[in-house]
């Protein structure tokens, strides 16, 4: 019986040592979040002091200080990873909303990574925004001059240099309308919503008209 108890104790010790080794390895793999070593050590010390306090319900688990340091360091870095992932998610979402105001930002970090996975996909999304701006500009022109030949205008080979200064302020107005979702009453809804649902990415990643 004593031999069996001893054997079980040896197995438990071996498992614990193996777990501690793996935790140390995992902790070192997270060294990229330890930008301030002194601050990290201070937080680890505070955590250990709090956990080893006799008033803490699980203080016995932290009574071995070397083991407590291993656990506290791993927990601290794991928490920092969560912090950085949350920040990265928030900043990447901000970039998405700034670059593509007509498209709702994906909710998860994984989905954002998928959207940003290739330059070609980003180019197509930028093209979608450009198409929306051009469509709104031409629609606004037609609202005042419905008989204009837009095909002829779009394909003109005349020099446009002398017109850029005149067009700059109206162009800002068009962009502002897109960003705020403004639409004339006859559209009966948000213009940005209509545009964002007009063009889609097909399974091959090509930009197509959703109505076709």
Q: What is the pLDDT of residues 147-158, one digit of tens each?
A: 999 999 999 899
Answer whether residue 47 shows pLDDT above 80.
Answer: yes
Answer whether residue 82 shows pLDDT above 60.
Answer: yes
Could you tell me the residue ranges of all domains in the chain?
2-99, 109-209
**pLDDT value at position 56?**
62
Q: How far is CA 102 from the centre of its chain?
A: 17
| Lowest mean pLDDT segment, chosen from 49-53, 97-101, 208-212 | 208-212
pLDDT band, residue 183 (cuts 50/70/90) = very low
H helices of the chain, where?
2-29, 37-52, 65-99, 109-115, 119-144, 150-154, 164-180, 191-196
**pLDDT value at position 187?**
37
pLDDT band, residue 186 (cuts 50/70/90) = very low
Residue 62 and residue 49 in contact, taking contact as beta carbons nearer than 8 Å = no
Q: Is 23 exposed, middle or buried (0-12, 13-18, 19+ CB in 10 A)?
A: middle
Residue with tokens 């180019």: 123
Dist. CA 162–CA 46, nearest whole Å: 68
**pLDDT value at position 5?**
66
Dist. CA 96–CA 107, nearest whole Å: 11
pLDDT band, residue 180 (cuts 50/70/90) = confident
Q: Is 77 exposed, middle or buried (0-12, 13-18, 19+ CB in 10 A)?
A: buried
Q: What is the pLDDT of residues 85-125, one digit of tens each?
A: 899 899 999 988 888 877 788 888 888 888 888 788 888 88
Answer whether residue 203 shows pLDDT above 50.
Answer: no
| Lowest mean pLDDT segment, chosen from 7-11, 12-16, 198-202 | 198-202
Report the chain's mean pLDDT, rounded to a whole number: 78
Q: What is the pLDDT of residues 135-147, one digit of tens each?
A: 888 988 899 899 9
Q: What angle do CA 67, 72, 88 make, to 5 degrees?
A: 145
| Lowest mean pLDDT segment, chosen from 37-41, 53-57, 92-96 | 53-57
List all residues 6 or more positions away from 11 whose beta carbon is below 8 Å from its beta carbon. none
């Amino acid at each position: 019986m004593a031999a069996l108890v001893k054997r079980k104790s040896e197995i438990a010790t071996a498992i614990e040592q193996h777990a501690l080794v793996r935790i140390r390895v995992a902790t070192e793999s997270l060294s990229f979040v330890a930008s301030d070593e002194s601050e990290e050590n201070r937080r680890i010390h505070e955590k250990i002091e709090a956990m080893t306090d006799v008033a803490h319900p699980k203080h016995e688990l932290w009574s071995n200080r070397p083991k407590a340091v291993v656990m506290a360091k791993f927990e601290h870095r794991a928490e920092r990873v969560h912090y950085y992932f949350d920040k990265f998610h928030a900043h990447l979402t901000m970039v998405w909303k700034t670059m593509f105001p007509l498209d709702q930002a994906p909710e998860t970090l994984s989905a954002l990574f998928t959207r940003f996975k290739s330059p070609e996909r980003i180019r197509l999304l930028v093209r979608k925004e450009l198409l929306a701006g051009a469509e709104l500009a031409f629609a606004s022109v037609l609202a005042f001059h419905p008989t204009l030949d837009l095909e002829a205008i779009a394909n003109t080979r005349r020099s446009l240099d002398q017109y850029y200064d005149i067009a700059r302020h109206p162009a800002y107005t068009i962009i502002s309308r897109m960003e705020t979702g403004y639409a004339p009453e006859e559209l009966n809804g948000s213009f940005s919503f209509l545009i964002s649902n007009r063009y889609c990415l097909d399974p091959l990643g090509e930009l197509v008209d959703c109505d076709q």
